[in-house]
Structure 1
C-alpha cells in the first residue's frame, strides 16, 4: 500500500472534490481518482461516494478514515524515532509561514538555525495564513509562523514576534510630504488590498471595525496575494497600501516608498508560532520551535523592524 494514497484520501475529504485535491497536490484529476480507486481495491470496499458536487464517506470510509489517520501518525512516529537514533540533531523540518514572516523573517532565521544544526534540513513553504494552517492541521507541516491565530481548537498558537502594518505611499504622491495622515486624507484614494485569507487583511479589517469603520470604505483597485506584490504595486504608482513594516523596509531604504502611520489607528499584531498535537516530535522539530521562541530570534526581528523606524 502506497502511503501517499492515504494522504491523497485525507486531502480529498478536506477539499471536498477530486479537482481541488489535484490542484493542491500537483496531480492530475485522473491520478487522484486512480489513487482513491487503488485504496478501495485494497480494502475491498467503496470508501467515498459523490453526493451532487460533494464527496461523502460510506460506512466503510468512516472506519477507513480513523485507521488511516492512526496509520499515518504511526509512520510519522517511526520516522521521528529513527531520527532520534542519531547522536546529532538531524532530519527534515517542514516550516510553513504566511507571506510576511515567510518572505522577510524566515530566511534570516533559518540561516542562523542551519549554521547551528547543519544536519537539519528545513523546508520553508510560504502561503497565506489560512492555507498554512490548513496544511498544519493535516500534519503536512511541523511548525508554522502566521500573522493571525488559528480558529481550530486542535492547533496550539503562541505569540513570539510583534509586527505592525504601516501605510506605504509612493514618494511622488501628494500625501508623501504630510507628517500626519488621517483616514479622511486617504478617502477615495486607490488602494492595493490583500486577498482573502491573508493575516494582514484580517488585522486591517479588525482594527477598522474596532473604530466602527468598514474596510469597504477603502477604494481597492487591485488585490494581491503577497506583501511583496503590494509593495511593488505602490512603487509602480498603482495606489496606497497597508503593508507590514517588515515588508516595507527595503522600499523605504531605497527611497521608493514613504511610510506613515494612520492617525488615531494602530495596526499592530502578533506573529504566532503554531503547532499541531502529535504522538511524537523529533529533536529537529523541537529545536526549531525552541529557537523560534528564543530571545535570539526575537532580537533578529526587532532589529529588522528598527530599520524602517529610523527611515520613516
Structure 2
C-alpha cells in the first residue's frame, strides 16, 4: 500500500471535499479519487459518503483515520530517527530558489554548509517563487528560498536576508541625469516586468500599493520570464523596470543603465525560507534551517 494514499485520505477527511483536497495536494481530482479507490480496494470497505456537497467519512473511514494518522506520524518519526544514526547529518537536501536568491544568495550560503556537512548532497532548482512553493507542497523539494511570502496555510515562512530593489532606466534616457523622480512620475515610464508568479514582481506591487500607487495606471508594456531578459529589454529600448540591485550591478557598472531613486519610497524587501508546516522535519532539513537562522542572526547583529 502506498503511504501517499493515506496522506491523501487524511487530507480529504480534513477538507471534506475531493476537489479541495486535490488543490491542497496539487494533484488532479482523478488522482485523489484513484488514491481513495486504492485504499477502498485494499481494505474492501467504502471510506466516504456524499452529504450534500461534502464528502464525509463512513464508519469504516472514521476508524481508518485513527490508524492512518498513527501510521503517517510513525513513518515520519522513523525517517527522522534513521537519519540521526550516529548523530551524522547526511542525505539529499533538495533546495528550491527563486531567481534572485538562487543566483546571488544561495551560492554564498551553501558553500559553508557543504563544508560543515560533507555527507549532505545538495540539489538546487531555480524557478519563480510560485513554482517553488508548489514543488514544496508536492514534496518534490524540501525547502525554498524565495522573494515573497504568499502566506500559504500549509507552509511556514521566515525572513533570512534583505534585498534592495532599484528602479533602473537606460543610460541615454532623458531623465538619466536626474537625482530622483517622484512616485507620480513613475506613471510616465513604459515598464517591463517579471511574470506575476515572480517573487520580485509580487514584492514590487506590494510596496507600490503601500504607497497608494494605482497599478492600473502604470504603463506595463511587457512581462518576461527572467530577470536577465527584463534587463536586456530595458537596455535595448526606452523602458524602465524595478529589479534587485544584485541583478543590475553588471549593467550599472558598464554604464548601460542608471539607478533612479523614487522620492520617499524604500524598495527593500525581505527574502524568505519556506518549508512545509510539519511537526517533524527531517534532520537534514532541520539542520539547514538552523544554519540559515544562524546566518540571519549574524547579519542582524
TM-score normalized with structure 1 length: 0.73
Matches of 2:61 and 2:144 in 1, distance apart?
Answer: 29
Matches of 1:147 and 1:13 in 2, distance apart?
Answer: 27
Matches of 2:160 and 2:223 in 1, distance apart?
Answer: 28
User: Aligned in 2, Cα 1:75/1:157: closer, same or farther, shift over 3 Å?
Assistant: same
Report what 1:240 is aligned to: 240
- 1:200-245 deviation digits (Å, cap 9, x = unpaired): 2232222222232212221111123443332233234372111112
Stretch of structure 1 that moved more, 36-45 or 169-178: 36-45
Contact 2:169 2:240 in 1 (8 A): yes
Point out the structure with max Rg over C-alpha: 2
Contact 1:80 1:280 in 2 (8 A): yes
- The match for 2:27 among 21, 26, 38 is 21
- 1:175-196 deviation digits (Å, cap 9, x = unpaired): 3333323334443322112333
The number of aligned residues is 290
TM-superposed CA distance for 1:167, in Å, is 0.9
- 1:143-174 deviation digits (Å, cap 9, x = unpaired): 33222334245544332211121112233333
Contact 2:160 2:296 in 1 (8 A): no
CA RMSD of aligned residues (A): 3.9
Contact 2:46 2:61 in 1 (8 A): no
TM-score normalized with structure 2 length: 0.75
Contact 1:130 1:197 in 2 (8 A): yes
Matches of 1:154 and 1:297 in 2, distance apart?
Answer: 25
- What are the equivalent positions in structure 2 for 1:70-149 lying under 5 Å apart? 71-137=71-137, 140-149=140-149
Where does structure 2 lack aligned partners over 5 or more consecutive residues?
12-17
Where does structure 1 lack aligned partners over 5 or more consecutive residues?
23-28, 302-312
Report what 1:190 is aligned to: 190
Matches of 1:253 and 1:298 in 2, distance apart?
Answer: 29
TM-superposed CA distance for 1:40, in Å, is 4.6
